[in-house]
Structure 1
């Protein structure tokens, strides 16, 4: 197993992590706005932020010099369903932009370029000297991620892969299995829609909880409210 470059508790305190992201076609998908979201989250006690793309990570790092950043880069590649920091060169750019922890898709699906999860984690540790958050969908992939050297494991992909598409986040059952069977910190991410749900995740043993859409997902939140209103019989569409 590759050596972990940092103690997890040193790299990331326990508590609330805010995912500050926006769809590419949203007016919120602007580095300045993403950085403002991150600043607001930090001002009110978030212990870390989760940020997509090097440009956004750079903007957040300028705004928040010391707040831990979990960085990733979503890339849709034709030869694979893996899209969260799929290859080492993506991780390298995320690290150089200022991320403290690199989040990767750690499912055992076919990866672009044929690189394995174990090789990717080892290179991030050895060449970038960064801890790794392994985003998984099942307990089998969580166990494999720990064996590959991951520093943290997140329930991020529960409900978002072919194997789990029949399931709906939050993955509290997966979280429970991770807490019971693994030795590395478990991060609950996906589907946390209220403060009570965040509490529930921590009571189940999560080291930290990531909240995104429920706080920063203005586009998706407005769509959901608007659809609920339009579903009312005889309500005029605008």
Structure 2
């Protein structure tokens, strides 16, 4: 067995997996059915719990575990500082958004995510295999409680500096997120998320060289070639997000899933138009309009998320891709629409073959 395969096998064994493949913990797109399908295939299911109150976290975990105590990652965002508010700017945004969806209530920008401390308590009570952080590092007291409970800390990073900081803070695993990834960039400093957008295959080997804990690669991986390349560059496992969104278990809007099938890499872009945080989405009519010179700039997170809620909800109900929050990584078109129960074992077998010097079905 090659050193790359051996490293991946050790990671899988450590976390009770048959495949060194993790589901990305996508907030708003991690239903129990998808996590269970990934786990049934031998990977690690995941819950992106950003938008969930503690009782909802407990209910989700209970549903996931009805078929057994399967490996699980739960992700929480580290909160940003309180946002600066500008009433005149928000009024201009409400008027702009009303041209793209329903009228926006004056108080829409007041919406806030659930209490982080309460979510941490719910996570600790759930006792997942791993707790993952994004947008920063867990506070020291949370890290210590995770370690006391035997819960591994997976720290999502987007730069080499963030990786070093996470390792120094005691992370058990570093998740290196390349700029190809769909959804939110996990940058610790929101203001630097776009300017420090590093591609995965530039970031990954440097993170591997800089830290002494396993590294998981995520962003733009959707087939066996990407898996094999990540392992050759030193990763111990891969994490898939957009690659799973076309599956029946994902349950995303049909227009979103259909668009992913033919999406070219350059048809995505980094945008703050949905939440106020930089993230990669399909370059829809709304995304392009929000980037136009005459459009008001987005408000900070989470104000922008609150302001766009009515538009996003209306678009989903109507199947309107033009105004839907349709996150997408740059390798979306490589994803398959079959269940992960079918595709993930095949993906891993093909990646193993590539690493052993063979050829993949996709090559």
Tell me the TM-score normalized by structure 1: 0.69
Partner of 1:17: 22
Pair 1:143-2:147 in alignment: no
CA RMSD of aligned residues (A): 3.8
Query: Which residue of 124, 129, 133 maps to 1:104?
Result: 133
Partner of 2:150: 129
Aligned to 1:188, what secondary structure does the other structure show?
Answer: strand
Partner of 1:209: 238
- Separation (CA, whole Å) in 1 of partners of 2:166 and 2:46: 20
The question of whether the paired residues in 2 share the 8 Å contact of 1:21 and 1:51 is answered with yes
The question of whether the paired residues in 2 share the 8 Å contact of 1:139 and 1:177 is answered with yes
Structure 1, gaps ≥5 residues long: 1-6, 109-115, 232-236
Pair 1:194-2:223 in alignment: yes
Aligned to 2:177, what secondary structure does the other structure show?
Answer: coil
Aligned to 1:173, what secondary structure does the other structure show?
Answer: helix
Pair 1:178-2:207 in alignment: yes
Tell me the TM-score normalized by structure 2: 0.47
- Separation (CA, whole Å) in 2 of partners of 1:155 and 1:212: 13
What do residues 105-149 of structure 1 show as CA deviations (whole Å, max 9, x unaligned)? 2636xxxxxxx64443223223x4311001111111111111111
User: Which of the pair has more CA radius of gyration?
Assistant: 2
What do residues 155-212 of structure 1 show as CA deviations (whole Å, max 9, x unaligned)? 2375713424246675222211111111000011222232311221111111110112
Query: Which residue of 214, 222, 226 maps to 2:258?
Result: 222
The question of whether the paired residues in 2 share the 8 Å contact of 1:106 and 1:117 is answered with no
Partner of 2:326: none
Tell which has more relative contact order, 1 or 2 (C-alpha 8 A, sep 6+): 2
The question of whether the paired residues in 2 share the 8 Å contact of 1:11 and 1:131 is answered with no
Aligned to 1:51, what secondary structure does the other structure show?
Answer: strand
Structure 2, gaps ≥5 residues long: 1-9, 50-56, 84-111, 247-251, 268-282, 284-320, 323-363
Query: Which residue of 71, 76, 79 maps to 2:74?
Result: 71
* Alignment length (residue pairs): 206
